[in-house]
Amino acid sequence: MKSVERGVFIVFEGIDGSGKTTQLEKARAFLAERGREVVVTREPGGTAIGEKIRGLLLDTANGDMCDGCELLLYAASRAQHVAEIIAPALAEGKAVLCDRFGLSTAAYQGYGRGLDLERIAAVHRAAAGGVEPDLTLVIDVPAEVGAERVGGRRGEGKDRLEREEIEFFERVRRGYLTEAEGDGTVAVIDGRGDADGIFDAVRAALEAVL
Ligand code: Z5A
């Protein structure tokens, strides 16, 4: 009987415009070439319910959303996402590549908004139900670099979160770097330079968990 390959859960993180989605797509191609069955998904979103929640979170009409409401909406999206997509895919031995997960909540709602990190961790545990990444790749760029990369989207088309000031994204970046310290499941990758060069470092980190 053919043994079922172990599922592997890999998360791509970083501030807006870090290039994490570009790297995730390269990882998808790399894993598929190696014959892995790959599920690509994202937060907030990833399910029909989650995409509705994403709409609420990004809607510029919701400018008066309080930070606690925002935290719980990300968590609600995650609970559905884990139950409907991530846990079943891992149980079937698939490689799950997820654009953002728990570290986004610590970085944005904790370091960015200033919510208590213990509270965030408790809410995350309730949502994720013990399903945690084997590897989280933080694609690290200064806030100015991220802002330049998403520059084309700024102005008229900005969503509620993209309207934040550059200082907010610097706090978020510092949050990622602080949370990564001493956590063996998190790799920080320098996100400056060209995308292929960055992927060399991403590939090395992926190979270590495959
Ligand atoms: N959020 C939260 O607050 N709490 C949570 O718990 C969760 C999320 C889960 C939506 O995220 C918002 O949700 C996010 C945090 C919050 N927003 N804020 N603020 P999202 O992931 O959907 O949105 P995003 O962060 O803006 O991601 P993005 O648009 O997909 O950008 P990206 O993934 O960082 O980058 P990219 O799409 O790969 O690249 C952006 C541009 O740069 C694009 O034109 C590329 O061609 C270019 N690029 C990429 N790599 C390079 C390199 N190496 N050099 C030059 N140019 C490059």
Domain boundaries, the chain: 8-209
What does DSSP say about strands 8-13 and 95-99: parallel, antiparallel, or unpaired? parallel
pLDDT at 3: 54
Report which secondary-structure segment, H or E, holds 146.
helix 143-149
Give the pLDDT of residue 164.
74
Q: Going by C-beta distance under 8 Å and a sequence separation of 6 or more, which residues neighbour residue 109? A: 67, 70, 71, 74, 115, 120
Question: In this structure, what token pair is assigned to residue 87?
Answer: 């846990």
Segments in the chain below pLDDT 70: 1-4, 152-157, 160, 162-163
Check residue 153 and give its pLDDT: 61
Q: In this structure, what are the phi and psi dihedrals at residue 37, rounded to the nearest 5 degrees?
A: -80, 125
Position 156 scores a pLDDT of 58
Phi-psi region for residue 204, left (φ > 0), alpha (ψ -120 to 50) or beta? alpha
Using the atom order of ligand 1, give the atom closest to the CA of residue 15. 25
HEC profile of 67-124: HHHHHHHHHHHHHHHHHHHHHHHHHCCCEEEEECCHHHHHHHHHHHCCCCHHHHHHHH
Say what the pLDDT of residue 4 is. Answer: 60
What's the pLDDT score for residue 151?
A: 83
The set of protein residues with a Cβ atom below 6 angstroms from ligand 1 is 14, 16-22, 43-44, 74, 99-100, 104-105, 108-109, 149-150, 161-162, 164, 194-195, 198
Q: Whole-model pTM?
A: 0.95
**Amino acid at position 94, single letter:** K
Distances (CA, A) of 27 to 36, 67, 168: 11, 33, 29
β partners of residue 138: 13, 188
What residue type is assigned to position 131 of the chain? V
Cα of 184 vs centre of ligand 1, distance in Å, is 24
Which residue, judged by its Cα, is nearest atom 13 of ligand 1?
44
Tell me which residue has its CA closest to atom 12 in ligand 1.
161
What is the total residue count of the chain? 210
Contacts of 118 (CB under 8 A, 6+ apart): none
DSSP 193: S
- Cα of 21 from ligand 1 centre, angstroms: 6
Q: In this structure, which topology does domain 8-209 adopt according to CATH?
A: Rossmann fold (3.40.50)
Q: Residue 99: what pLDDT?
A: 98
